[in-house]
Structure 1
Amino acid sequence: MANKHKALVEIVLDKPRTLRYDLNALAEMEAKLGVSLQELDQLTMGVKQLRTFLWAGLIHEDPTLTEHEVGGWVDMDTLSMVNEKITEAFQLATGKN
């Protein structure tokens, strides 16, 4: 379920969490992936990029999370759902469909 006012998207990983792509998350993604905000939505998503997107969307709740920890919550059975939730949250945050 999404909260469009705060651009929050619920996701169940190790426990229920929310994805949020605020300015801090976007800055972290730019730094980790080496691309600008304009290039983020054009990025070819491999597993490493997907993990970075997921991690960045979760750090608003817990800044101590690591990409490795977050990556351990996703397997082949949940990969598609995670990708859909990331896409939904990123589109809400950036206003792009």
Structure 2
Amino acid sequence: MANKAKGIVKLNGDYSLRYTTNALVELEDAIGLTLPEILVRFERGGLGFKAIRTIVWAGLLHQFDNGDGTYDITQKEVGDLIDELGFEAVIEKAATALESAFPQSENKPNRETRRQGIEKN
């Protein structure tokens, strides 16, 4: 289940994804791309397993933040979690959580209409 108002998407009973500003900064640093570049590649399926694991890791950081710039979860542990929960299921939930991090205003065009150059009136 998701709590889209807070941008939280549950992976299972113990873990949830949430892409806070700090998590997105960590994601950009770890992958070496800007967020828009990451999102385009993610949507097109143009990221490798390492980048996908890093996206999931960044979404979990809110649960493991020590408050000093360190986290109590490693990317290897995230890889094991992905294996446990199923790659496709985790990818789908990561996509939902990323979308939840950027809620749309009713006056703003959605991603598909922006791609097509169509504005809502």
TM-score normalised by structure 2 residue count = 0.71
Identity %: 38
Please list every run of at least 4 consecutive aligned residues from structure 1 whose deviation after the TM superposition is greater than 3 angstroms: none
Aligned residues: 95
Q: Measure, in 2, the Cα distance between the counterparts of 1:4 and 1:77.
A: 21
Which blocks of at least 5 consecutive residues in structure 2 are unaligned? 65-70, 104-109, 112-121
Q: Measure, in 1, the Cα distance between the counterparts of 2:82 and 2:58.
A: 15
Greater share of residues in strand = 1
Which structure: larger Rg? 2
Listed one character per residue, the Cα deviations across residues 22-46 of structure 1 (whole Å, up to 9, x for unaligned) are 1011001100111112212112222
TM-score normalised by structure 1 residue count = 0.88
RMSD of Structure 2 on Structure 1 (CA): 1.8
Q: Measure, in 1, the Cα distance between the counterparts of 2:82 and 2:16.
A: 15
Equivalent in the alignment of 1:2: 2
Greater share of residues in helix = 2
